[in-house]
Structure 1
Amino acid sequence: MLVVETIGKIRRAYFVDGRPIKAICRELGVSRKVVRKVIRSQATEFRYERETQPLPKMGAWSAELDRLLARNESKAARERLTLIRLFEELRGLGYAGGYDAVRRYARRWSKERGTSTASAYVPLSFAPGEAYQFDWSHEIVLLSGTTVMVKAAHVRLCHSRMLFVRAYPRETQEMVFDAHDRAFALFKGTCTRGIYDNMKTAVETIFVGKGRLYNRRFLQMCSHYLVDPVACTPASGWEKGQVENQVGLVRERFFTPRLRF
């Protein structure tokens, strides 16, 4: 089954980059039939529901294997056990599965919890239509005599510095989609990249470096607009400094003193 991230890559490669189907198949490792299906259907998601969901043998032992791997990782390099030894310990506890399942699980575990971080370069200049930055801010207003907090969605074009701001009562996923739709309507188009922080409405899991597990519906939105989402490093606001500065500017010009409705 195709994940929405792969569908988005196929759509961007074909509609934005103008790449031929053969090149897309070679790069992503998918068949021409699959690529044509994505292009012709215009869908951003394909679902397949199993009647019965088999549970792998590793599922019940994942917590125990996590404990063994964490304990082994905390040891000195010379004292660490090999995966074969860890597999034998797990078998001694009652695990009835094979070694390959343990090896694949340990590989994913090490990748997700790696300690090395890749260096990143954030450009200070952007080409027209290359990227935009998105962020939320919390503002205080007086609504019918009552002091309430509203959430302002900010979108900033990195090249022209054109801005978009819209206030919402909450910071939900529906508000995120509506803000993008209205911003792109104002800008008369979209960009190839969107720069975000790690907001809960978009990111489900943060991995090492720039790796992220995005929310399915958020990926569908990016695939629809042919946008490649890029997440900032946690606690690194300078990676989307333009929209961070926009938050302070808008707050000073439009929300000070407090607006009354």
Structure 2
Amino acid sequence: MLNVETIRKVRKAHFVDGKGIRQIARDFNIARNTVREIIRSGKTDQKYQRSIQPRPKLGTFADLLSKLLKEDSAKPVRHRRSAQILFEQLQREGYEGGYDAIRRYVSAWKKSEDAAPSKAFIPLEFDPGEAFQFDWSYEQVELGGVPVEVKVAQFRLCHSRKPYCVAYTRESLEIVLDAHAPAFEVFGGVCRRGIYDNLKTVVTKVLMGKDRVFNRRFQNLASHYLFEPVACTPAADWEKGQVENQVSVVRSRFFVKRRRFANLEDLNEWLEAECRNHAATASHPERKDRTIDEVFAEEKGHLLSPPTSPFDGYQETVARVWTQLLVSFDRNRYSVNAMAVGKTVAVRSYADRLIRVLNNRVVGVHRRHLGRDKVIYDPWHYVAVLEQKPGALRNGAPFKRWDLPVPLHEVRGRLEGHADGDRQFVAILSVVRRYSLDAVAEACAQALLDKTVSSDVILAILSRQHDEPQPEPVHETVKLPRLTLQPIVDCHRYDLLLSGGPHGTA
């Protein structure tokens, strides 16, 4: 087969130099028939293609392989079998050929007319303030020196392409609810529609067509911000292609190398600044002469005004309080107030904290721990139990590494030498809820200064320095008898009694 350079020289020798076929054949050592074909056909290139590809080993299995490929073409890409898997499957059917034959056949089949046609898409256009898109991405960073895979919630306004990203370590429902508040705060408003994937945390049930059953708390969020949630068709990522493209941009621009941060708060501050810088410098994809921020300035006037207060983004579950005053949540245990022991409480989980509620009364607040199999105590939850069992103060797990004011620590050390030292210290702790921790610490400091450390002295100091709370007044009712003659304090009446005078009642 001749190359392009030889064909060019043959054509030039004949049409420009006027040489005959015989002379050209001698000069270039080419058969005369070949020279004659080049001159008469007018071709400037020569390619050889086999009309029939012999497959001695694969021949009997070609139909089966084509059938398997047709089955896979109707499935999502992630569920299709690779050439290696197909090769192993054919081996189990008796195929004795090599893997390369299978690989070449699969490659040729995908380019042939038998393969599924390529998908075509229609460009989408959104009006200002019409919609935003939401999706998750997973990025590798270091938090406090530990490699962590963070989940980045990504928002994008469909008209201006304004981005916003915030990172978490989970992607549960309360995290989704929490991510919307800062996004709408940065945008300064809310779009009329929100376009989502079929997230399990958001969509409870996928029905026919576009019908979805959304999570109840997520519907509360949409109602609070007055936007309509829309879920994409399954396996139709092009319906939210803008945020899909943003995921690639964020990964290639922001996380091209592993970033290091002290904590999640530092990561989110950096991430928000990067999004802001990108919007200020990047050109709009459709309006090349303007930046994203310039287009966003026009769109901002079309956004719905945000509510005066952010959505209370918690997910509520119920849990039973153990006898150790602990509640299990997300493979961790948290303490609650002693009044809730043995009862069922509502656990309101936020992105950063947990609140336990019993009959509309808060019985426990903790910062959420995102690890596993940890026990998180609040020692003040156990003070009421200590009043009944003061001996537990020495070895009680909640009281290890208790961060108390310095005067209280010193008083505890002084009282440890007394036989009833634990009981005295518990008596001091029990009045904290009446006088406050600072007031009790001041009384302890005064007792240490006077070198008279005991619970009675500290309680006496508190009683002198603070007025005792007055009891609530008794409200009169119609059922109680009323006095017609008010009693008068008169000591002379007792003198009359001693002298044998008449008994007086008033």
Q: Please indicate the TM-score interval, normalised by the length of the shorter structure.
A: 0.5 to 0.7
CA deviation after TM superposition for structure 1 residue 174, in Å: 1.7
State the Cα deviation string for residues 72-93 of structure 1 (Å, max 9, x = none): xxxxxxxxxxxxxxxxxxxxxx
CA deviation after TM superposition for structure 1 residue 217, in Å: 0.2
Alignment partners' CA distance in 2, 1:168 and 1:161: 22
1:229 aligned onto 2:234:
no
| Residue in structure 1 matched with residue 201 of structure 2 by the alignment | 201
State how 1:1-261 maps to structure 2 within 5 Å: 124-261=124-261
Alignment partners' CA distance in 1, 2:128 and 2:122: 16
CA deviation after TM superposition for structure 1 residue 142, in Å: 1.5
Look up the equivalent residue of 1:216 and give its one-letter code: R
SS of alignment partner, residue 150 of structure 1: strand
Whether contact under 8 Å (1:197, 1:232) holds in the other structure is yes
Unpaired stretches in structure 1, ≥5 consecutive residues? 1-120
CA deviation after TM superposition for structure 1 residue 122, in Å: 7.5
Alignment partners' CA distance in 1, 2:214 and 2:122: 21
Cα root mean square deviation, aligned: 1.4
State the Cα deviation string for residues 91-140 of structure 1 (Å, max 9, x = none): xxxxxxxxxxxxxxxxxxxxxxxxxxxxxx98711111100000011111
Alignment partners' CA distance in 2, 1:178 and 1:193: 18
Pair member with larger Rg: 2
Alignment partners' CA distance in 2, 1:164 and 1:127: 19
| Residue in structure 2 matched with residue 93 of structure 1 by the alignment | none
| Residue in structure 2 matched with residue 52 of structure 1 by the alignment | none
Alignment partners' CA distance in 2, 1:251 and 1:178: 22
- Give the number of the structure with larger relative contact order, counting CA–CA contacts within 8 Å between residues 6 or more apart: 1
Look up the equivalent residue of 1:133 and give its one-letter code: Q
| 4+ residue runs over 3 A deviation | none
SS of alignment partner, residue 151 of structure 1: strand
Alignment partners' CA distance in 2, 1:257 and 1:132: 28
CA deviation after TM superposition for structure 1 residue 144, in Å: 2.4
Identity %: 60
Look up the equivalent residue of 1:257 and give its one-letter code: K
CA deviation after TM superposition for structure 1 residue 220, in Å: 0.5
Unpaired stretches in structure 2, ≥5 consecutive residues? 1-120, 262-506
Alignment partners' CA distance in 2, 1:122 and 1:154: 23
Alignment partners' CA distance in 1, 2:221 and 2:123: 25
Going from structure 1 to structure 2, the CA distance change for 1:194 and 1:122 (only over 3 Å counts) comes to farther
Look up the equivalent residue of 1:199 and give its one-letter code: L
Look up the equivalent residue of 2:220 and give its one-letter code: Q
Whether contact under 8 Å (1:122, 1:239) holds in the other structure is no
Going from structure 1 to structure 2, the CA distance change for 1:224 and 1:165 (only over 3 Å counts) comes to same
SS of alignment partner, residue 247 of structure 1: helix
Alignment partners' CA distance in 1, 2:154 and 2:171: 12
Alignment partners' CA distance in 1, 2:246 and 2:145: 28
Provide the aligned length of Structure 1 versus Structure 2: 141
